[in-house]
């Protein structure tokens, strides 16, 4: 039935939110607690219930640069957060064996060269390559696209600096994220939230009570019969999806046809030398292995598809690939790729793994939880719940997940590997139309036009498309306006200036020692 704008509906009838119950105390739960505590008036009570018997997932150590915005929002200082979470800096991801075995490429966070209002920088580079191919520029004039990215050169030479200088400075093109011990990071958030009045209850939720008329959640009951009543319930219960699936019956949109990995094994090892400022993702026979360097240890894992590899083989490949002594037994994990059709239903919102999961190849999960929290803050239901606001939230979150999915699918689909059944499957599988259109445009003109919802910048798409061997047939015709000799000269100057700047940066370890060492 149609309704008039602004008219009341059953969805608008709930009273303003005064009691918030968060179920789950993993990274997502504490992110929610901290952010909500930061914005709500003292009259709003926030309670987080978590169960030590169940524990948290225990992985989730690589992040993307947006986490910095979240920490800034809370007023947490970078050096303090890294010191307390034994963190290191991350300038990007080193992808090994993804296009072909024995080859690697780097996906950096910072930009390539400098875009102009008329065209993207890489269009100049594409043209220079064409000039070289025609003998109108020296054969090595263009170099590789990585020559124009400070983050890549610094990372692979084990150097680090945060961005510095005005927008013209080469150092201003640095962009970083973190590797963090997720358990320690949650504790940072917990301390912050508790100082702001969040109440933590240790207990296990065993039942959820709903209003018989409108279906909203009224309370959750703990194993010790403690009943927690609330106006708004945030489901951060991880893969259990206790409230959003169990009570609200929001169904799951499954993307395993695009992303067939559904298992992981994780193992920490002792660090071996100074930590590199990047994550490494090495393609394996039916998935990939990660290496995440922290100050006090290295996180390792193997994400694989159970349809193509058994657990013993996955375990063997992981252990054979790690450097350093294992510090614990391998932790086995199962997951499903996809998301809830409704992240927010009535007075229940699922954030983090409870809302959906896309495998960790580009370290996007904590970011997606962050988006869930940030959007909730932006649409805080201080005047009650409104169906249009809820629909808006669900639309935005769905778009976030879909765009992230496309970016991850790109890594698998654009491979030349055909050495195992897994790689033959992902190479030949049908891909989402949105991704197919992006690839078509890039192949035709080298253009990358990110959707407004895109989490990853055009520079990220460029890094992975080129890294995965996709070559544009043409470059943007407007670039021909730049005189060839000026192009050759300026590109050489830029390349040299970036290399020189990289060589002046401190080593990653010495930067940590000076700013955020945990010891
Ligand atoms: P969890 O950590 O599972 O927390 C769930 C909470 O709910 C726990 O506190 C638990 O005790 C509580 N709970 C559950 N049931 C009940 C109950 N009945 N009663 C009371 N409490 C309950 N993300 C990244 O951003 N980067 C990465 O590098 C990365 N790597 C990953 C690798 C793998 C293999 C996997 C599977 C995930 C990875 N992630 C990564 C995702 C990341 O781990 C999660 O996004 C993050 O840890 C947040 O998890 P969560 O808080 O949603 O769930």
Q: Which residues partner with 93 through β-bridges?
A: 107, 279
On whether the CB atoms of residues 70 and 31 are closer than 8 A, the answer is yes
The atom number, within ligand 1, closest to the CA of 25 reads 9
HEC secondary structure over 155-185:
HHCCECCCCCCCCCCHHHHCCCEEECCHHHH
> Buried (b) or exposed (e) across 135-146, using 16+ Cβ within 10 A?
eebeeebbeebb
**Is 228 a domain residue?**
yes
Name the closest-CA residue to atom 29, ligand 1: 60
Q: Look at residue 9 in the predicted model and tell me its pLDDT.
A: 44
The atom number, within ligand 1, closest to the CA of 369 reads 45
Q: How many CA atoms lie within 13 A of 409 on its CB side?
A: 25
Name the closest-CA residue to atom 40, ligand 1: 60
Residue 353 marked in a binding site: yes
Residue 242 marked in a binding site: no
Q: Look at residue 501 in the predicted model and tell me its pLDDT.
A: 97
Q: Specify whether 326 is located in the same domain as 185.
A: no
Q: Over the stretch 284-333, which tens digit does the pLDDT of each residue have?
A: 999 999 999 999 999 999 999 999 999 999 999 999 999 999 999 999 99
Q: In the listed set 334, 351, 376, which residue is the last one of a domain according to the structure?
A: 334
Which candidate, 114, 70, 154, places its Cα nearest to that of 372?
70
- Cα distance between residue 72 and residue 375, in whole Å: 16
Q: Which of 34, 48, 56, 184 to mutate to test the pocket of ligand 1 (most atoms within 8 A of CB)?
A: 56
The atom number, within ligand 1, closest to the CA of 59 reads 43
Q: Specify whether 122 is located in the same domain as 60.
A: no
Give residue 59 CA to ligand 1 midpoint distance, Å: 7
- Cα distance between residue 502 and residue 500, in whole Å: 5
Q: Specify whether 420 is located in the same domain as 507.
A: yes
500 is catalytic: no
Give residue 334 CA to ligand 1 midpoint distance, Å: 12
Q: Look at residue 5 in the predicted model and tell me its pLDDT.
A: 38
Q: Look at residue 14 in the predicted model and tell me its pLDDT.
A: 64
The atom number, within ligand 1, closest to the CA of 351 reads 52
**Is 81 a domain residue?**
yes
- In this structure, is the dihedral angle defined by the CA atoms of residues 218, 222, 223 and 226, taken in order, positive or negative? negative
pLDDT tens-place values along the chain, 519 residues long: 333 433 334 445 568 899 999 999 999 999 999 999 999 999 999 999 999 999 999 898 999 999 999 999 999 999 999 999 999 999 999 999 999 999 999 999 999 998 888 889 999 999 999 999 999 999 999 999 999 999 999 999 999 999 999 878 999 999 999 999 999 999 999 999 999 999 999 999 999 999 999 999 999 999 999 999 999 999 999 999 999 999 999 999 999 999 999 999 999 999 989 999 999 999 999 999 999 999 999 999 999 999 999 999 999 999 999 999 999 999 999 999 999 999 999 999 999 999 999 999 999 999 999 999 999 999 999 999 999 999 999 999 999 999 999 999 999 999 999 999 999 999 999 999 999 999 999 999 999 988 777 889 999 999 999 999 999 999 999 999 999 999 999 999 999 999 999 999 999 999 999 999 988
**Is 405 a domain residue?**
no
**Is 94 a domain residue?**
no
- Cα distance between residue 176 and residue 518, in whole Å: 19
Q: Which of 34, 48, 49, 50 to mutate to test the pocket of ligand 1 (most atoms within 8 A of CB)?
A: 50
Q: Specify whether 477 is located in the same domain as 422.
A: yes
Q: Specify whether 380 is located in the same domain as 234.
A: yes
266: its two tokens: 């994780």
107: its two tokens: 């996906």
On whether the CB atoms of residues 438 and 468 are closer than 8 A, the answer is no
**Is 97 a domain residue?**
no
Q: Which of 25, 34, 58, 59 to mutate to test the pocket of ligand 1 (most atoms within 8 A of CB)?
A: 59
Q: Over the stretch 182-196, which tens digit does the pLDDT of each residue have?
A: 999 999 999 999 999
- Per the listing, tokens 């496309």 go with 406
Q: Specify whether 235 is located in the same domain as 357.
A: yes
Which candidate, 156, 87, 22, 95, places its Cα nearest to that of 412?
95
On whether the CB atoms of residues 109 and 162 are closer than 8 A, the answer is no
**Is 102 a domain residue?**
no
Residue 77 marked in a binding site: no
Give residue 143 CA to ligand 1 midpoint distance, Å: 42
Q: Specify whether 168 is located in the same domain as 211.
A: no
Length of the chain in residues, anyone?
519
**Is 398 a domain residue?**
no
- The number of folded domains in the chain is 3
Give residue 356 CA to ligand 1 midpoint distance, Å: 11
Helix 67-74 and helix 27-39, axial crossing angle in degrees, nearest 10: 40
On whether the CB atoms of residues 172 and 196 are closer than 8 A, the answer is no
**Is 313 a domain residue?**
yes
- Cα distance between residue 364 and residue 24, in whole Å: 20
On whether the CB atoms of residues 57 and 333 are closer than 8 A, the answer is yes
Domain with 494, as residue range(s), is 107-175+415-511
Give residue 39 CA to ligand 1 midpoint distance, Å: 24
Give residue 476 CA to ligand 1 midpoint distance, Å: 44
- Cα distance between residue 471 and residue 42, in whole Å: 56
Q: In the listed set 306, 334, 362, which residue is the last one of a domain according to the structure?
A: 334
Pocket of ligand 1 (CB under 6 A): 23-29, 49-51, 54-57, 59-63, 182, 204-205, 236-238, 240, 242, 264, 301, 303, 333, 335, 352-354, 360, 363, 365-366, 369
The atom number, within ligand 1, closest to the CA of 352 reads 52
Q: Specify whether 237 is located in the same domain as 322.
A: no
Q: Specify whether 368 is located in the same domain as 232.
A: yes
Name the closest-CA residue to atom 27, ligand 1: 60
Domain harbouring 242, CATH code: 3.50.50.60
On whether the CB atoms of residues 385 and 255 are closer than 8 A, the answer is no
Question: At 297, which helix (H) or strand (E)?
Answer: none
Q: Specify whether 33 is located in the same domain as 121.
A: no
On whether the CB atoms of residues 39 and 377 are closer than 8 A, the answer is yes
* Active-site hit among 4, 19, 77, 90: 90
Q: Specify whether 310 is located in the same domain as 380.
A: no
Q: Look at residue 13 in the predicted model and tell me its pLDDT.
A: 56
On whether the CB atoms of residues 220 and 21 are closer than 8 A, the answer is yes
Q: Global pTM?
A: 0.96
Q: Specify whether 437 is located in the same domain as 507.
A: yes
């Amino acid at each position: 039935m149609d309704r008039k704008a602004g008219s009341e509906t059953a969805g608008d009838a709930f009273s303003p939110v005064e009691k918030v119950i968060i179920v789950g105390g993993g990274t997502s739960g504490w992110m929610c607690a901290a952010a909500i505590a930061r914005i709500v008036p003292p009259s709003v009570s926030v309670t987080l219930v978590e169960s030590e018997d169940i524990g948290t997932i225990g992985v989730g150590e690589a992040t993307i640069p947006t986490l910095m915005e979240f920490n800034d929002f809370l007023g947490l200082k970078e050096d303090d957060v890294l010191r307390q979470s034994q963190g290191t800096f991350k300038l990007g991801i080193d992808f090994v064996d993804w296009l072909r075995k024995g080859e690697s490429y780097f996906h950096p966070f910072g930009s390539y060269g400098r875009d102009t209002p008329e065209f993207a920088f890489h269009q100049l580079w594409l043209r220079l390559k064409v000039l070289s191919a025609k003998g109108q520029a020296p054969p090595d004039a263009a170099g590789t696209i990585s020559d124009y990215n400070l983050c890549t050169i610094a990372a692979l030479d084990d150097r680090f600096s945060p961005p510095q200088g005005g927008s013209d400075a080469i150092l201003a093109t640095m962009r970083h994220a973190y590797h963090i011990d997720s358990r320690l990071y949650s504790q940072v958030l917990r301390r912050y939230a508790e100082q702001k009045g969040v109440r933590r209850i240790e207990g296990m939720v065993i039942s959820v009570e709903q209003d018989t008329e409108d279906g909203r959640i009224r309370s959750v009951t703990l194993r010790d019969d403690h009943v927690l009543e609330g106006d708004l319930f945030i489901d951060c219960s991880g893969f259990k999806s206790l409230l959003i699936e169990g009570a609200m019956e929001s169904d799951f949109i499954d993307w395993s046809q695009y992303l067939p990995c559904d298992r992981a094994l994780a193992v920490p090892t002792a660090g071996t030398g100074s930590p590199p400022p990047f994550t490494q993702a090495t393609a394996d026979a039916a998935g990939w292995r990660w290496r995440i360097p922290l100050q006090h240890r290295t996180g390792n894992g193997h994400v694989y598809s159970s349809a193509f590899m058994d657990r013993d083989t996955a375990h063997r490949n992981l252990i054979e690939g790690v450097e350093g002594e294992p510090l614990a037994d391998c932790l086995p994990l199962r997951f499903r790729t996809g998301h809830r059709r409704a992240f927010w239903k009535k007075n229940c919102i699922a954030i983090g793994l409870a809302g959906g999961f896309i495998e960790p190849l580009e370290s996007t999960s904590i970011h997606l939880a962050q988006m869930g929290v940030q959007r909730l803050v932006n649409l805080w239901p201080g005047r009650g719940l409104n169906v249009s606001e809820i629909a808006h939230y669900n639309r935005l979150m769905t778009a976030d997940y879909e765009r992230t999915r496309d970016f991850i699918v790109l890594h698998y689909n654009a491979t030349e590997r055909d050495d195992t059944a897994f790689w033959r499957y992902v190479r030949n599988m049908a891909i989402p139309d949105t991704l197919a259109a992006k690839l078509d445009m890039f192949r035709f003109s080298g253009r990358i036009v990110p959707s407004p919802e895109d989490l990853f910048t055009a520079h990220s798409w460029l890094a992975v498309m080129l890294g995965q061997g996709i070559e544009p047939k043409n470059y943007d015709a407007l670039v021909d306006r730049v005189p060839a000799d000026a192009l050759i000269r300026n590109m050489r100057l830029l390349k040299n200036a970036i290399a020189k700047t990289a060589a002046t940066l401190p080593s990653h370890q010495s930067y940590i020692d000076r700013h955020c060492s945990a010891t």
